[in-house]
Chain A
Amino acid sequence: MKKQNHFALDEKLSEISRRDFMKFCGIMAVSMGLPIGVAPQIAEAITNPKRRPPVIWLHGQECTGCTESLLRASHPSLEHLIFDLISLDYHETLNAGAGHQAEAALHNSIKENAGKFILVVEGSTPLKEGGKYCMIGGRPFVDIVKETAAKAAAVIAIGSCASWGGVQSSPPNPTGATGLPEVLKGTTVVTIPGCPPNPYNFLSTVLYFLTFGKLPALDDKARPKFAYGRLIHENCERRPHFDAGRFAEKFGDEGHRQGYCLYKLGCKGPITNANCPSILFCDVGAGAWPVGTGHPCFGCTEQAVGFKIPLHTQAEVSQITPDAAHAPIETEQGKGLSAGAAGVLGGIAGVAIGAGAVIAKQLGQSEEGE
């Protein structure tokens, strides 16, 4: 990295120390599964004003939970993100202006940055009855999304609603709530599912795009592999309890208080792909994620699980591995006498003995008769 960039960097990030900033870049690199050496490259990418990308953030049917979780990110904090790292041109929650003013900003940005901006969509898109269940500025949300996406450099669906419809797409789904990949068929939509998703998974994806000019490796559901490549079960801090067969059977029971595995309470960790146990939430330290607080994972990042499988229904373990216990040297195996077999054998013995006795008796008689 060249020296002048360091000056530029120092200037830009006057409020935080350079050391902290590089640390942040390193953390981001690691959380994306990249070598730590990439950190300067990340720093370079996010401090170059020419590359500071415009971001347009649209809201469909949602609860703003995704935005809320992003607001609570601390490295970088949201203000850094939107003022220094990216150019957040339109975000309904964070817009300074309102009404026509805001809409004008959106139109201008789309026009100016066509082909360059990142589109982030939060919330599902209702498709029923022409999309009238979500109107913004007098227009159906679905039209806005399609129009904007056509001009975007990259499209990111943040949250489970945008990824696959979320809670409102559960049957009977009265509004026809649909995920973004379904609405924008043919366009690559990176999905960051979760309810809410971990903000760092989103930030990492954005930074990756800024740094390398391309999207990170995605899985078959277009989720970044660095965040969704593994089951929660694989990295869960309570996994040793699972392997040893130590389970909480009821909320508040002894096992629950001991921090045993929550599988029997319906934890969906064994079938849910996410990095929650590794990166945790809210930057408050160990245990800050659902399972860490004693609540079973409910599978919010997994389309077939969250809002589909009832909360306390036990999951079918998808990757079966050995338990901690060992088979004893001697075990009972094979099947012994059953009532049915005893009955059948008894019947046969009865018939045989009866027949034998009759014949033996008659043999005697015929002899006497002679």
Chain B
Amino acid sequence: MEIKRRDFLKGIAGGAALALAQPALALAREKSRLPDAVGILYDATLCIGCKACMVGCRKANNLPAETIGPQKLWDNPIDLSARTLNIIKKYVSGTGEYKDREINGFSFIKRHCMHCVDPACVSACPASAMTKDKKIGIVSYNKDACIGCRYCQVACPFNIPKFEWDNPFPQIVKCQLCNHLLAKGELPGCCDACPTGASLFGPAAALLEEAKRRQKMQPGSYYDFPVSTITSGKIQYQQAAQYIPRIYGENEVGGAQVLMLAGVPFEKLGLPDLPSGSYVALAENIQHTLYKGMILPIVAFGGLIFLVKRSDKNKE
């Protein structure tokens, strides 16, 4: 699926055309990162694929291992699922010799909730089971509100919310950035476990700064890379890799609190190529244009009552 920014804007124009009588349809509401937003910076070039973050995630969220295949030998999920909130996947091309190279190379990629600035799941959920924290911006799930309609799954451009298909009393399961641990002053399981600083926790704004700093690094030169959190003081002195000039999550569908850096194009790593505008904004604009204060429906209702009465009179 390729939706370029151009098409996206055309789509918005289509939405605008629908709202015929509405002169000023806000094109895209500007939502920006909350000042206290927290997030994760995942740097694929630092990732060694040790899966410590997956184990840390299981531990932090008390999740059982997920075994695939006839023999239950390994915790080897093939994708995110209701039992796996965090996964390291591997891209391999050709001979797969060189780290972080697109051709004849390989790269790891970590997948979990991006904690979008304007999350589609939160907008979609009819029962407010998905909420975005007003302060630190974590997108979390409340099973007591959820009706299990799975619209969040349809809406999420990253396919993050997962459903317990084999449970008669199912829930949606997703990464909630270990907010239960953050409340205790601890770190998210994955960032706590990561030995190289590939998963780095911190304030979203500081992480964006850090990502921008890395983008400017001279490949092959040595730099300090913080480990586990941006302010932990723990440092790895590492050679900078050749980054592709893109911070994934900076602008995608309105931006995210989880940011990613890699040496291989993100499309190759299975991340969708998304426009910078948010589909959520468009959907909500259509909806709010039509239903703002229920004025349009009420006026229409008045008109309909008049027409029905007239027709009834004619009949008589």
Q: Do chains A and B touch in the complex (CB under 8 A)?
A: yes
A240 vs B129: C-alpha distance when bound (angstroms): 43
Return the chain A residue nearest B55 by Cβ.
A322
A204 vs B109: C-alpha distance when bound (angstroms): 47
Q: Are B72 and A326 in contact (CB under 8 A)?
A: no
Q: Are A327 and B73 in contact (CB under 8 A)?
A: no
Q: Are B73 and A322 in contact (CB under 8 A)?
A: no
Q: Are B75 and A321 in contact (CB under 8 A)?
A: yes
A360 located at the interface, meaning its Cβ lies under 8 Å from any Cβ of chain B in the complex: no
Q: Are B269 and A329 in contact (CB under 8 A)?
A: yes
A149 to chain B, nearest CB (A): 43
Contacts A326-B90, A328-B89 given; indicate if A316 touches B72 (C-beta within 8 A): yes
Residue numbers in A under 8 Å from B67 (CB-CB): 320
Return the chain B residue nearest A264 by Cβ.
B71
- Picked from A321, A327, A330, A333, the residue with its CB within 8 Å of the CB of B87 is A327
Q: Are B65 and A327 in contact (CB under 8 A)?
A: no
Residue numbers in A under 8 Å from B219 (CB-CB): none
- Picked from A243, A316, A320, A325, the residue with its CB within 8 Å of the CB of B65 is A320
Interface string of A241-264 (1 = CB under 8 A from B): 011010000000000000000010
- Picked from A317, A328, A331, the residue with its CB within 8 Å of the CB of B72 is A317
B282 to chain A, nearest CB (A): 28
B181 located at the interface, meaning its Cβ lies under 8 Å from any Cβ of chain A in the complex: no
Interface residues of A in 4-48 (CB under 8 A from B): none
A329 vs B107: C-alpha distance when bound (angstroms): 10
Residue numbers in B under 8 Å from A333 (CB-CB): 78-79
Return the chain A residue nearest B54 by Cβ.
A322
Interface residues of B in 88-110 (CB under 8 A from A): 88-92, 108-109
The majority secondary structure among interface residues of chain A is loop
Contacts A322-B51, A322-B55, A333-B78 given; indicate if A327 touches B72 (C-beta within 8 A): no
Residue numbers in B under 8 Å from A243 (CB-CB): 74
A118 to chain B, nearest CB (A): 41
Q: Are B76 and A329 in contact (CB under 8 A)?
A: no
B195 located at the interface, meaning its Cβ lies under 8 Å from any Cβ of chain A in the complex: no
| Chain A interface residue bracket vs B | 10 to 19
Contacts A329-B89, A329-B268 given; indicate if A323 touches B76 (C-beta within 8 A): yes
A320 vs B269: C-alpha distance when bound (angstroms): 27
Interface residues of B in 50-68 (CB under 8 A from A): 51, 54-55, 65, 67
Interface string of A306-325 (1 = CB under 8 A from B): 00000000101100111101
| Chain B interface residue bracket vs A | 20 to 34
Of the listed residues A263, A323, A329, the one surrounded by the most CB atoms of chain B closer than 10 A to its CB is: A329
Of the listed residues A243, A316, A327, A331, the one surrounded by the most CB atoms of chain B closer than 10 A to its CB is: A327
Return the chain A residue nearest B268 by Cβ.
A329
Return the chain A residue nearest B51 by Cβ.
A322
Residue numbers in B under 8 Å from A329 (CB-CB): 89-91, 109, 268-270
Residue numbers in B under 8 Å from A321 (CB-CB): 55, 65, 74-75
Q: Are B55 and A326 in contact (CB under 8 A)?
A: no
Residue numbers in B under 8 Å from A323 (CB-CB): 73-76
Residue numbers in B under 8 Å from A322 (CB-CB): 51, 54-55, 74-76
Q: Are A328 and B90 in contact (CB under 8 A)?
A: yes
- Picked from A317, A326, A330, A331, the residue with its CB within 8 Å of the CB of B73 is A317
Residue numbers in A under 8 Å from B49 (CB-CB): 326
Residue numbers in B under 8 Å from A330 (CB-CB): 270
Interface residues of B in 118-146 (CB under 8 A from A): none
A243 vs B73: C-alpha distance when bound (angstroms): 9
Return the chain A residue nearest B52 by Cβ.
A322
A230 vs B161: C-alpha distance when bound (angstroms): 37
Q: Are B90 and A320 in contact (CB under 8 A)?
A: no
Q: Are A326 and B108 in contact (CB under 8 A)?
A: yes
Residue numbers in A under 8 Å from B51 (CB-CB): 322, 326
Residue numbers in B under 8 Å from A245 (CB-CB): 74
Interface string of A289-321 (1 = CB under 8 A from B): 000000000000000000000000010110011
27 contacts between A and B (CB under 8 A): A245-B74, A314-B71, A317-B72, A317-B73, A320-B67, A320-B72, A320-B74, A321-B74, A322-B54, A322-B55, A322-B74, A322-B76, A323-B74, A323-B75, A326-B88, A326-B108, A327-B76, A327-B77, A327-B90, A328-B78, A328-B89, A329-B89, A329-B90, A329-B91, A329-B269, A330-B270, A331-B79
What 8 A-B pairs have minimum CB-CB distances, sorted nearest first?
A326-B90, A323-B74, A320-B65, A329-B270, A322-B51, A331-B78, A327-B78, A322-B75
Not counting A243-B74, A326-B90, a sample of 11 additional A-B residue pairs whose C-beta atoms are within 8 angstroms of each other reads: A263-B73, A321-B75, A323-B76, A325-B76, A326-B49, A327-B77, A327-B78, A328-B89, A328-B90, A329-B268, A329-B269
